[in-house]
Structure 1
């Protein structure tokens, strides 16, 4: 009987079963306490009535159709725009690549409300627009595609593609028949994450939809916060949950067909100068960068402009206290940095442990179920999770509802799936026969992970850390409900300013957005510098 490359064939390392079980218990335990329990509590409160009424409304199914349709369209646009950037990050030796990665990542962490307003100004949209929603959601998620796909692409051995070119295949045919099949695990991972983000998009739809275009996320918020219709919101949360499960099942099925051992190489010397028609891809990447820069430039211009001309009034007001904000903008920035740091180390511990468990499980169905469970926080409304925390966590020792770690816990739930989707494709691409050989020589499971997996996955871990950190910096959905008034993060401060009338408040909001972009860009540059320093080791 033949054995597929990359499967778990071979002898089991000593202690393999106990180690895997313990890791799975820790991961699922955290997920159960900080995700499943709060969500189930809210659903139990809300599902006592109102199911038939909500499901029989034609508006409900129109909202479901628009949610899935705009998410699918946004995912396609993000994939098409992100692939040229992934190629440049992986294969082209451009100068200051750390700066390029930072520029690509910054749009992903901007508050959704601000991006919605930026696209309204940029596109001249005065009426609700479905295409503006699609473009804005794609703008957010291009970084997911570029970083996830580019991370695996950089470690693919280019000799297979070079061999195909040597046999007469053109650049496009070599890409289609050799490179693209090898990239499919990362492509499906990126597509699943982008679809989940777009299907739960909140601020963009709220600003650009104008009440005419509504998604399940905005409808859940409306029913929970404004209409106090908890039963109706709970039913919509179930529909959202079902849609997420279906998307995860499709993505898992597609990934399972392609996630076998790939030919990886160490990153040193992985880039080369493009030739011939490959310059078209580089030009396309440049066009995407210009498109990403346009909304950001609109925000910069808006932060220093008023009805009477150029002004720095927003920045001056942001440096003080009082009025709408109880703290200065600088204190809000420090709150964001502190919460993001805590969320990142939590998500890294949980995500790396989850990846090790997922690559160690021998039961295919157990692996797929656990993988899907770890992705669910991306597809459940932040409103549901936030209110669930307030309802449930008071029974734990110390009443976590008043703990400064509550916001990092919620942010860690959001970024852990991103950590997993960044690291897991690389770990699953390691040829299992290498692990089996190490086990035959007497290496235990942890030594195998340290000496076999880490040299290939180390850079992916650093990438996941940086990616998760900047996502936590800009997280608003859960943070907006859980942050204490005396300790707001920058996205919470921006939301408060946007919600108040007055030109000065608007200028302060855009100034705070610029501050968030600068903090994010600085953090990404630090991470990218560390990542570059590690490139010689991993």
Structure 2
């Protein structure tokens, strides 16, 4: 096989996978929205459904505003001040973001008890989950801004607030806009948090799609809502992209070691203490309460996980085994497909490579509920695999592939072309060149991407709720949801124990990723 044919063969694998398991289901969703009555007419003619759309939009806007208000002081303190425990606080702030949404929602159920099913609980959970986006995105830039600009403005008579408003804020606006856009999209497509904490009294588009498809069997309306959501997310991304184009500017940045200093004034020390208190109350207490509630009766809740459960049709222990099996399978599939895609993007040239890269990111911008719904209504031909064990890891693979691609592409591009050329000159086949030259460079990047893929699969809830057939294939997130929906302290304790185990598994995957990053200087 010639080199060119070999490249086309590598590109064909991710292209066919994306076409069959992503593009085709979206086409079927559009078709279903217009078949058996116009689903869009049902949406716009139903005041209740329009209320769902309105609630989705304004709760996402309020959640974004609250997250910015909570996150910006934390970003300032962690980026501008040097103090003992700074690295630990940064790690703690990141933990909720890598925690599965089901765990975050369960933590607030454990913390608030009967008051958990409320709008306040939903907003708090969204802040809890997304504050790391603001701290990482805005703080990552703030840490490198030259503090002498602010000092010069104050020397010329500007107040601290005035210097911030005239000097620092304009420089931070692109980062703040980026963080706001990400948080808005996450909260606009929120499913697990709203489903558990809203108790179907507060319903977003995601939850309504699930309810219409699985509870009321109104597939045209569910399909129309999916299209509306995709269009809204696309429009929001377009607006954000145009804003960034207009606001982007070159900034002189300094290393973080030169900008951070110890807090000097009593005001700065009080601000530091306030931020530490916020992190403890908002982030540590919910997760700590989750663990504590799982141990209310000692380890009884954990020891009972191996026992059969009528609520789940399987034992919670079997749900753990299912999640691990799905996670490992999805990780293996994502590695094969993602690495083939990464090679295609990294080796390609011109606009075609950029377009292919953008297409690979589309599943990441599409809600998991939409992906699950699309697979549910489309994977009945030519062979019906909707009740197959494989449908769940295939859905997880769709979401995981972009993480593999984003991790591997920069590394593959960093491999000196002369090494490949020398190997080819010596008569090595393309496969041998890849194995001997590229593989040693990208092995660690692939391992990091695999860690992300495994963590994503473990916590995936939206698509899995559509696709877990039969019930013997329950995963940890779906088992937690079913246990929380049943009365009895024993079921509640099992849900707390499963959520704690899921949190530890996800944290273990993230810690492994961090170790690989440190070892490979990623």
TM-score by length of 2: 0.74
Change (3 A) 1:282 1:257: farther
Root-mean-square deviation over aligned CA pairs: 5.0
The answer to whether structure 1 residue 248 and structure 2 residue 237 are counterparts is yes
CA separation in 1, counterparts of 2:187 and 2:77?
25
Q: Name which one, 1 or 2, has greater alpha-carbon Rg.
A: 2
Where do residues 136-535 of structure 1 align in structure 2 (5 Å cutoff)? 136-149=125-138, 152-153=140-141, 158=144, 161-164=146-149, 167=152, 187-258=176-247, 272-276=260-264, 282-290=272-280, 291-305=282-296, 310-325=297-312, 328-343=315-330, 350=338, 357=345, 371=358, 374-375=361-362, 377-380=364-367, 382=369, 384-393=370-379, 395=381, 401=386, 405-415=390-400, 469-483=454-468, 485-535=471-521
**Most deviating of 89-98 and 491-500:** 89-98
Q: Relative CO higher for 1 or 2, CA cutoff 8 Å, sep ≥ 6? A: 1
Quote how far apart the aligned CAs of 1:396 are.
6.7
Equivalent residues of 1:39, 1:388 under 8 A apart: yes
Taking structure 1 as the reference length, what is the TM-score of the superposition?
A: 0.72
Pick which of 194-203 and 477-486 moved more: 477-486
CA contact (8 A) 1:181 1:258 kept: no
- Cα distance, 1:122 vs structure 2: 3.5
Uncovered stretches (5+) of structure 2, i.e. residues with no partner: 423-440
State the Cα distance separating 1:228 from its structure 2 match: 0.9
TM-superposed CA distance for 1:323, in Å, is 3.6
| Per-residue CA distance 1:436-475 (angstroms, 9 max, x = gap) | xx99xx999xxxxxxxxxx9x9999988765554343211
Q: CA deviation at 1:339?
A: 3.4
Deviations 1:115-165 (A, max 9, x none): 445435634664963333222222222233344555x549x7x4x514435
Structure 1 position 38, deviation (Å): 1.3
1:219 shift after superposition: 1.4
CA–CA separation in structure 2 for the residues paired with 1:203 and 1:377: 17
Deviations 1:375-406 (A, max 9, x none): 45544451x42243244345478x76566553
The Cα shift of 1:261 comes to 6.6
Query: Of Structure 1 and Structure 2, which has the larger fraction of its residues in helix?
Result: 2
Size of the alignment, in residue pairs? 492
